[in-house]
Amino acid sequence: MKNNRSTKLDQTFLTEYKLSTAPPPTDTLFWKMWNACQDIANETLNTQFIQEIKSGTLNPVHYGGFNISDAYYCFKGAQDYLNAMDRASNPTLKAFLHKKYNSYQKYNDTFPKTWRIKDAEGIIPSEVCKLYSKFESMVASHQDPIYALIVMIPCEYLWAWLAAQLSPTSSKNLYAPWITGNNDPNGAYAMGNFLEEYQKENPVDEKLATQLYTQAITYEYQNFNTALSS
């Protein structure tokens, strides 16, 4: 029942790259982008899909359909982050992108047993999911690799934020594992803190970053908002 594609950062990784999982300072780009999109996050929380996750009333068929469509995004996304990693020169950025690639690979390996699908070829994704996947591929292959990390953050933090809003949950809730499994913002916070350090020596176009971030979180919202569509 878990759908947890977030990037898990173990202590060895955090120590090696001198990363902090504390919430980034309030004036950093991490929070500027999030605050600019708070309305979209609230809209996502209020989607029927998320509210039925909260109440435990979501039709399992709809949950399964969402996951299979999401599998298309994740199968495609693994290669995207590998491509971005190959173009990155900053060692910590390369490590983050490789970590994301590995997390998707590990998550994708669960699909054959859980949902009986082995790759993206047999999946009919939602139109939103296809657009989101194409957008991510474009950023990973055409923008500076730091923006591949930036479009990763909306997924990483939004899902953790949603889970936090739905907590605590009853163990009787069928979707409790989804809520508890996603209620961990540490990976997103580490990315935000790294981004702050990266900006001290490397130019980041904050207007472009916010534009790409907003598009990514909008696709996240649309994925949830259309999940119950027939």
Q: Model confidence over 25-64: pLDDT tens digits?
A: 999 999 999 999 999 999 999 999 999 999 999 999 999 9
Q: How many domains does the chain have?
A: 1
Question: Is 219 part of any domain?
Answer: yes
Q: Is residue 40 part of a domain?
A: yes
Is the Cβ–Cβ distance between 191 and 11 less than 8 Å? Answer: no
Per DSSP, the three-state class of 37 is coil
Q: For the residues 139-152, what does the mean pLDDT come to?
A: 96
Average pLDDT over residues 134-155: 95
- pLDDT per position as a tens digit, 186-212: 999 999 999 999 999 999 999 999 999
Assess contact for 150 and 195: CB atoms under 8 A: yes
Q: What is the mean pLDDT of residues 142-149?
A: 96
Q: Please, are residues 191 and 96 in contact by the beta-carbon 8 Å criterion?
A: yes
**How sure is the predictor about 1, in pLDDT bands with cuts at 50, 70 and 90?**
very low
Q: For position 45, which CATH number holds? A: 1.20.910.10
Maximum separation of any 2 CA atoms in the chain, in Å? 50
Residue 24, preceding bond cis, omega within 30 degrees? no
For residue 99, give its domain range.
23-225
Mean pLDDT value across residues 130-150: 95
CA 23/CA 186 separation, integer angstroms:
8
